[in-house]
Structure 1
């Protein structure tokens, strides 16, 4: 049985890495893919390990391993060096099973092969097959989106949440924005459970929060750079206070799913439309006040989208999204 080794940071995992791993798989029976993660790097090693596990979950020949290392013990360098390769080889010989062949796309692979007393194979060193680097992707992920491994795309996807009281156009806005940016949206879940807001129970709110979080986690895998989400768990909390004067407690995974990069709040100055499922107009305004209090208490900043013209609101929301994507902030 021939055991191979691929070492990398995979920060992030991209198609060049996958091409190297797939090439290695053709030449060995068992492949250790070692994620080398320093404690002083922007993406946690555990996250990178999960990308590899997800990508090769159906291939039993691949063994993703994580090595969290101290740079004072194992030098971190982007330049191939015989001296550094010797230090790493000495360390790996003590912590890995015997290696028959090491695969790499840089000269250090030959050095490591010599020090590990194994064969070395260099693959596409000039990067002609997949002309990209992890550094380029980290700096401009959207510009190099198609080079990212599918498993890594959710990490770089921007999540934009639409908030507001009833009858402010959130549902239509989310779908319209998703269509405009060639991506998808996550609808709010209340209508799948309730026919009218006044029929809501405390148990319904928890079910709504969990179904919504599950949908976010599923849809982000399919999103194209941006995911638009109608409503978040804080709005569901506001409903709990507004309807029952109680705090809604949700599981940690629901909280985690509801972390967003940008919040757009659709103000209550939009035309009121009663579709048979909503609160009356007076309560709609009171709910708006409840939502804003909830967000203020949790120190959630948002861009306020105002106006009684639907196209004007859409234009403002779209500009805010573009500005955030380009600069990381919004000043409107």
Structure 2
């Protein structure tokens, strides 16, 4: 099998999936040096920087670069080809010996780079998945996605509320409910509250000095809350990488902003900045009414619960976060929460469509005077374009 000096794979990777990774791995095995060019249009939802980072994580020995390409697709128009090639050449100015694709346009792309065109798995038998399919239903394609992409597409649901209002119980119950659905949902996780773990250690250290110390003797410093928020966010991210299309979080960095106010009397701008970077989609606020207060050794001031519930509600509304308030007995709270989560999941990830394909015959093989990969009868193209129907993957089709 022939080897090459410098190989090139280009695509939108919107988002990257197993078919893309197979193409890149195959090219890397046959080249001394491989460049992967990630092309993103401004209309697309997933940032170019994220896609570049995801490809670098999956292929650490490969050079990955990114470029913004806002030119619509039209394989029948030489002027459009020229415009795309200007973008490609600006990002990859070095000579290219081979371009690797799974598309009929590969021969023309190779000719324009002055390189050999290498076709990889044109029938897509190894990984029957497409970028279009992932965008339409991530859950149906979950096993074709790598951890960083799963983390980006996971719908994250936060359960928050005042002390002793059942946040941990509801988060656990929700995870159990979705795990029972089986399939990819069997991996559903929930993230415990790191602030409680932090508090337990803080009280234990105080009792090592004073055995009679109680929770009311513990004092918090402002700089402890950003640490709590960061660790909570890191654990959430780790769980999203390994879990199902939905993740349940017992509190989050946003909730930590209110806890800072509760203990210190004023908000923390640093915690707010951490919370602003979150990827959460839905907040479930647990009502304090009708829930007995249980002092487990890390709780006090039962009378503050209505104030805390009000502050959570006010801040959620002020910041425009999607919120559902759950009340009543445990079974009713779970049922209302499941209904809200199901509505969220039914909406999908809401990723914007890529730029349209303006070719005369999108999805069909290139003209006979441009020989390339074999014709593709049968199923839609899983490595970056939807086949005969829908919007193709820019970069998978120049």
Q: Give the alignment's TM-score, normalised by structure 1.
A: 0.87
- Work out the CA distance in 2 between the residues paired with 1:287 and 1:256: 21
Deviation for aligned residue 1:252:
7.0
Is 1:9 the counterpart of 2:12? The answer is: yes
Distance apart, 1:10 and its partner CA: 0.6
CA contact (8 A) 2:254 2:272 kept: no
Provide the residue aligned with 1:64 in structure 2. Answer: 64
Alignment root-mean-square deviation, CA: 2.4
Q: Does 1:205 align with 2:210?
A: no
Check 1:44–1:257 CA distance in 2 against 1; reply closer, same or farther (3 A cut). closer
Q: Are 1:192 and 2:201 matched, yes or no?
A: no
Are residues 1:287 and 2:280 paired? no
Question: Which secondary structure does the structure 2 equivalent of 1:144 belong to?
Answer: helix
- Change beyond 3 A, Cα 1:198–1:236: farther
Bigger shift: residues 170-179 or 30-39: 170-179
Counterparts in 2 of 1:81 and 1:328: CA distance versus 1, 3 Å: closer
- 1:143 counterpart = 2:140: yes
1:157 aligns with 2:154: yes
Equivalent residue runs for 1:198-237 within 5 Å: 199-203=218-222, 204-237=224-257
Determine the structure 2 residue equivalent to 1:109: 106
* Aligned twin of 1:168: 165
| Structure having greater relative contact order (Cα 8 Å, sep ≥ 6) | 2
CA spacing shift, 1:296–1:42, aligned 2, 3 Å: closer
**Deviates most, 1-10 or 158-167:** 1-10
Q: Deviations over 1:62-85 (max 9, x none)?
A: 1111121342xxxx31x6447344
Distance 2:287 2:15 in 1: 38
Stretches of structure 2 that go unaligned for 5 or more consecutive residues are: 180-187, 204-214, 350-398
- Does the 8 Å contact 1:55/1:151 carry over to 2? no
Indicate the residue corresponding to 2:48 in structure 1: 45
2:274 to 254, 268, 273: 254
Aligned-pair CA distance for 1:47? 1.7
Q: What's the CA shift string for 1:240-282, capped at 9, x where partnerless?
A: 3233321212257622443420111111122322212212432
Contact 2:225 2:271 in 1 (8 A): no
Partner of 1:10, secondary structure, is coil
Asked if residue 318 in structure 1 is aligned to residue 323 in structure 2, the reply is no
Q: C-alpha distance in 2, partners of 1:297/1:8? A: 40
One of 296, 314, 319 as aligned partner of 1:275 = 296
What is the alpha-carbon distance in structure 1 between the residues aligned to residue 77 and residue 319 of structure 2?
53
Q: Which moved more, 1:219-228 or 1:155-164?
A: 219-228
Q: Report deviation, 1:91.
A: 5.7
> CA 1:214–1:325 in structure 2 vs 1: closer, same or farther (change >3 Å)?
same
Q: Determine if the alignment matches structure 1 residue 33 to structure 2 residue 36.
A: yes
CA, structure 1 residues 235+42, in 2 after alignment: closer, same or farther (shift >3 Å)?
A: closer
Structure 1: which 5+ runs fail to align?
A: none
Aligned to 1:119: 116
Distance in 1, matches of 2:339 and 2:286, equals 14
Calculate the TM-score normalised by the size of structure 2.
Answer: 0.74
In structure 2, C-alpha distance between the alignment counterparts of 1:219 and 1:267, rounded to whole Å:
26
Structure 1 stretch displaced more, 158-167 or 232-241: 232-241
Deviates more, 1:166-175 or 1:243-252: 243-252
Bigger mean CA deviation after superposition, 294-303 or 145-154 = 294-303
Q: Are the aligned partners of 1:80 and 1:108 in contact in 2 as well (CA < 8 Å)?
A: yes
Deviates more, 1:30-39 or 1:293-302: 293-302
Query: Is contact 2:155–2:281 with CA below 8 Å preserved after alignment?
Result: yes
Residue 185 (structure 2) aligns with? none
Q: Partners of 1:198 and 1:300 in 2: how far apart? A: 34
Which segment is superposed worse, 4-13 or 87-96?
A: 87-96
How far apart, CA to CA, are the structure 2 residues paired with 1:102 and 1:202? Answer: 57
